[in-house]
Structure 1
């Protein structure tokens, strides 16, 4: 009997490139797309009979892994892996892999797109035109503004390149500065927070750490600044952000990720005029999905065939 590979990434389908690649290596595929929270019973049985898994960003907890007797490898079809209990996977001898570098250009383009939308109030303008009006309010140009970037991995660097191309002053807070990148200025975190007109997050979120963006963080920002998050929802204290936006402590926010997805209908941020929220789409381009799916499949194949995968988390 062939080894079975569970696939929960919702854009991967039977018969696609990933499916064909796995089957070429003698593996069977089973699909259980991630489309929201699963019941307790569904979660506990998710990995039944699977030797490998290609996963979306849904939570993978210790109790789910405890019953996964045949599971040898988990591959995320994306960069983040904070949704997976890494310690539990290690206890059970499971390899955990991710696919960095497949979607950083897509994330960077989305980040700049959100900045333009916020700077020109495009969502409200578009809705107003649909409602029969013809608004002529003035927006702001990105050229000449200060772009602050927190984190300087592939996505942060890609955003920096685009910001420089647009004529922005780019400042970066990171524990891994790149001195050869002379077009940007590396500063400490507080300087980046306080100087940025547009402040974008591209750093990891540690599950045990409090949110990076808390009340004191928001108080240090310019009152005219826009906060952008295409990284991790857990980086932001959403209650503190809602309070800051409601009193004009900062001018606005553009969020592609939130703490709990999908965003609940009653969430405070949903009805705020100075907030743009998209549905975790930054890395979701056709090109990036192709790269992510194939990279995740290769990680699964490598582990099951006794090779060391390229990108190992644990």
Structure 2
């Protein structure tokens, strides 16, 4: 029996994930993350824990080193930048994510955020709620250009939605489309998104970043946070965009320089931004993003639909059980990482 820590806030004692883990012989402890969690609290929670199904916990090298029983960590989502994978590898801890698990949810949210910003829906609704009757116009999407930064599962799922609205789609990606994963892994619980003729890639023009920023009416961020992409959208990048352009970010907050963005919107360098993520979450009371007309901040909910949560919980539990048995399907660290002897049996299935 392994002790498993669950911090994803929508997973609860007695739910199907909890039942599944217990049916496979594990004991669970729930400590939902609803804000920030300091190092000492996290270390205390990890005491004696062998497996962790986590939200965006700061799993730093220091925290991991203080959890000697820990064997496997599974992120109940796509991004895993909160986990020090190199440190985990050194300690023999398996780290997995769930690639593509919420691609459809993120894609739909992205288009919804674009529509809301283009038609000023938040501003109009706030005006009516405040007793007014605003008559401010907006822009149609048809005939406009969408620029995607990154071409992972969520970005690829955006393409047919944008095309349905009559948008032209550009993309900047670090990988050529030919070497992108052919399909979203089966764990996504969603229709596969393929590459090749007739696929999203066929409807996209791949360009360099400066070209994308210059030509796009909407720039949507879908890349991972790495040292190379931290503050990728800085003052220089924003200066290349059209004064009528919108920025949408559903990836990671630190990809955008928030000080530069606030200044750019305030000064009319770009028209506005819709952000589902920010550098510090929840958004601090003194954030530079607050009070800037044209910037709307959501609460990191792009991937949080009923369907996506069910899929993430189910697949996260399966991945954790398999990781503890030494058979992870979606590990993100080196395949040679192992801390304990495992049998070469087949993957556990639901």
TM range (shorter): over 0.9
Establish whether residue 266 from structure 1 lines up as the match of residue 265 from structure 2: no
Find the partner of 1:183 among 203, 207, 222.
Answer: 203
Separation of aligned partners in 2, 1:158 and 1:238 = 27
CA apart distance, 1:87: 1.1
Establish whether residue 109 from structure 1 lines up as the match of residue 90 from structure 2: no
CA apart distance, 1:44: 2.4
Partner SS state of residue 312, structure 1: coil
Deviations 1:237-286 (A, max 9, x none): 11111111110000000000000100011112111110011000000001
Establish whether residue 299 from structure 1 lines up as the match of residue 316 from structure 2: no
Separation of aligned partners in 2, 1:3 and 1:235 = 37
Alignment CA distance shift 1:235-1:6 (3 Å): same
Partner of 2:188: none
Find the partner of 1:212 among 232, 235, 242.
Answer: 232
Establish whether residue 313 from structure 1 lines up as the match of residue 332 from structure 2: yes
My pick for the range that moved more, 104-113 or 296-305, is 296-305
Separation of aligned partners in 1, 2:242 and 2:211 = 11
Separation of aligned partners in 2, 1:41 and 1:159 = 40
Partner of 1:171: 170
Separation of aligned partners in 2, 1:58 and 1:253 = 27
Asked if the contact 1:44–1:63 (Cα under 8 Å) also holds between the matched residues in 2, the reply is no
Asked if the contact 2:39–2:63 (Cα under 8 Å) also holds between the matched residues in 1, the reply is no
Partner of 1:150: 149
Deviations 1:202-249 (A, max 9, x none): 111114754111111111111110000000111011111111111000
Partner of 1:44: 43
Asked if the contact 1:106–1:284 (Cα under 8 Å) also holds between the matched residues in 2, the reply is yes
Deviations 1:37-82 (A, max 9, x none): 2244212222111110000012111111112111100000000000
Find the partner of 1:284 among 286, 304, 311.
Answer: 304
Structure 2 unmatched runs, 5+: 179-195, 334-350
Deviations 1:65-105 (A, max 9, x none): 11211110000000000010111111110000001111000
Separation of aligned partners in 2, 1:170 and 1:39 = 41
Establish whether residue 236 from structure 1 lines up as the match of residue 256 from structure 2: yes
Structure 1 unmatched runs, 5+: none
Find the partner of 1:257 among 247, 270, 277.
Answer: 277
My pick for the range that moved more, 179-188 or 191-200, is 179-188
Partner of 2:34: 35
Deviations 1:119-171 (A, max 9, x none): 11111110111122111221110111101111111011011111011110111
My pick for the range that moved more, 52-61 or 207-216, is 207-216
Asked if the contact 1:82–1:207 (Cα under 8 Å) also holds between the matched residues in 2, the reply is no
Asked if the contact 2:77–2:312 (Cα under 8 Å) also holds between the matched residues in 1, the reply is yes
Partner of 1:5: 4
Establish whether residue 83 from structure 1 lines up as the match of residue 103 from structure 2: no
Alignment CA distance shift 1:309-1:13 (3 Å): same
Separation of aligned partners in 1, 2:161 and 2:203 = 11
- CA RMSD, 1 decimal: 1.2
Establish whether residue 26 from structure 1 lines up as the match of residue 45 from structure 2: no
Asked if the contact 2:24–2:321 (Cα under 8 Å) also holds between the matched residues in 1, the reply is yes
Asked if the contact 1:65–1:88 (Cα under 8 Å) also holds between the matched residues in 2, the reply is yes
My pick for the range that moved more, 78-87 or 174-183, is 174-183
Separation of aligned partners in 2, 1:207 and 1:98 = 19
Separation of aligned partners in 2, 1:62 and 1:117 = 40
Separation of aligned partners in 2, 1:250 and 1:195 = 13
Partner SS state of residue 87, structure 2: helix
Partner of 1:202: 222
My pick for the range that moved more, 199-208 or 163-172, is 199-208
Separation of aligned partners in 2, 1:280 and 1:242 = 19
Partner SS state of residue 45, structure 1: helix
